[in-house]
Amino acid sequence: MRPDKPAAADHADADHIAEAARLERTAGLYPEDAEPLLLQAAAHLELAGARERATALYDRLLSANAEHPPASPLLIRALKASNLWEYGHEAEARAIIEGVRAAAPRDPAPWVIVAESLESHDELEQAHATFTEAATLLLPPETADPAYATHPLLFGRHRVRRLLGADHDAWDTLADRISTAPVPLDELHDPKRVWSLGSENPAELRAEIARIQAELGSYRQALSRPFPVAILHWPAPELTELLTAYPPLAAEYPSHEEHLATIESSLRELATSGTPNLGIVTGTVPSYEAFAASESASPEDPNLLPQYATTLAARGRAVAWPPERDGKCWCGSGAAYGACHGGGSTT
């Protein structure tokens, strides 16, 4: 009998399940950071098709005890609704979506999630109404430079209006202006684009591939925002303690000065390559040892270091890089970034 999914897909699902389990274990060790960790775990479960388990995680977060109540209950409800609709619980999903809209959150994320859920199920009029409600609430009139978090509202509203055949309005013009994609939004959101995929003209196909690549680039940038690419930073006392306890790691950190220089050079290289949303996380030896224990791994294993950095970033511990040139340097010297590790930087 032929399997329902190819082997590669099964392997990917197993990877997502394993990562969700790891994040749940880490959440158990750090209950104060459970919310972002369990939200990531639920996302991995959704990608693996384990949607009922994802719903259980959302319910777990919403029923958290008084000591650790959810910081973003409307976001969790929006994610739960989107997930429920994907595996047949439409009525419950619709009820939650209406509840989120009625609550009028000041955070753009729940609005975007419920509007995109409506859009993905061809509820275009309701999706448009939801995006518009959010824009009316969160974007003051004559907004010239909207906050980054509101960009998906403007882009989603533009996309739905394009599908509905609506004329441009002021918010559509603003969406066009703030878009960084190399392809205009009108082209990216053109409902006739799908027809070109059946073309036998190589030039038309290449143009459509370029548009799709630009759209994927925008999605990748948006998705990367909550969980930055983070480099691990050890303050001098922590690095000394780390190398005293685990001498094999000295090969990774010949000196503290070289460690700091490597952080800055690595981040600049990533920025030059186009990697967005870079950050720095600061490690401590007790935290690192707890993480190693949660992974049943030795703290002496250098392969554990990037995993530790990723986990700290997922727990919301990353600080954005680069700082402002006149702001304090990330290294902790107290000097301005421009006069310290930012010397020669163009930021």
Per-residue pLDDT tens over the stretch 93-144: 999 999 999 999 999 999 999 999 999 898 999 999 999 999 999 998 777 8
Which of 52-56, 110-114, 296-300 is predicted with the least confidence, judged by mean pLDDT?
296-300
Residue identified by tokens 């639920």 is 42
254-276 burial code (b ≥16 CB/10 A, e <16) = eebeebbeebbeebbeebeeeee
Q: What percent of the chain has pLDDT over 90?
A: 45
Strand boundaries in 201-261, DSSP class E? 229-233
Q: Cβ–Cβ contacts within 10 Å for residue 253, how many? A: 17
Cα–Cα distance list, 325 to 26, 234, 257, 336, 337 (Å): 35, 22, 20, 7, 5
Cα–Cα distance list, 150 to 108, 135, 178, 300 (Å): 6, 8, 11, 43
Residues paired with residue 336 on neighbouring β-strands, in sequence order: 328
Rg of the chain on CA atoms, in Å: 23
**Strands 229-233, 319-320: pairing kind:** unpaired
> What three-state secondary structure class fits 319?
strand
Question: What length does the chain have?
Answer: 347
> What three-state secondary structure class fits 320?
strand
DSSP state of 2: -
**HSE-up of 213 (CA within 13 Å, CB side)?**
7
Which of 2-6, 18-22, 178-182, 301-305 is predicted with the least confidence, judged by mean pLDDT?
2-6
- Cα–Cα distance between 62 and 155 in angstroms, integer? 29
pTM: 0.62
List every span in the chain annotated with CATH 1.25.40.10: 7-223
Per-residue pLDDT tens over the stretch 209-263: 666 666 555 544 444 444 567 899 999 999 999 999 999 999 999 999 999 999 9
pLDDT of res. 181: 73
- Cα–Cα distance between 11 and 153 in angstroms, integer? 35
Q: Which CATH class is domain 7-223?
A: mainly alpha
Residues paired with residue 278 on neighbouring β-strands, in sequence order: 229
Per-residue pLDDT tens over the stretch 260-287: 999 999 999 888 877 777 889 999 998 8
Tell me which amino acid residue 92 is: E
Does the pLDDT value for residue 317 go beyond 90?
A: no
**Strands 278-282, 229-233: pairing kind:** parallel
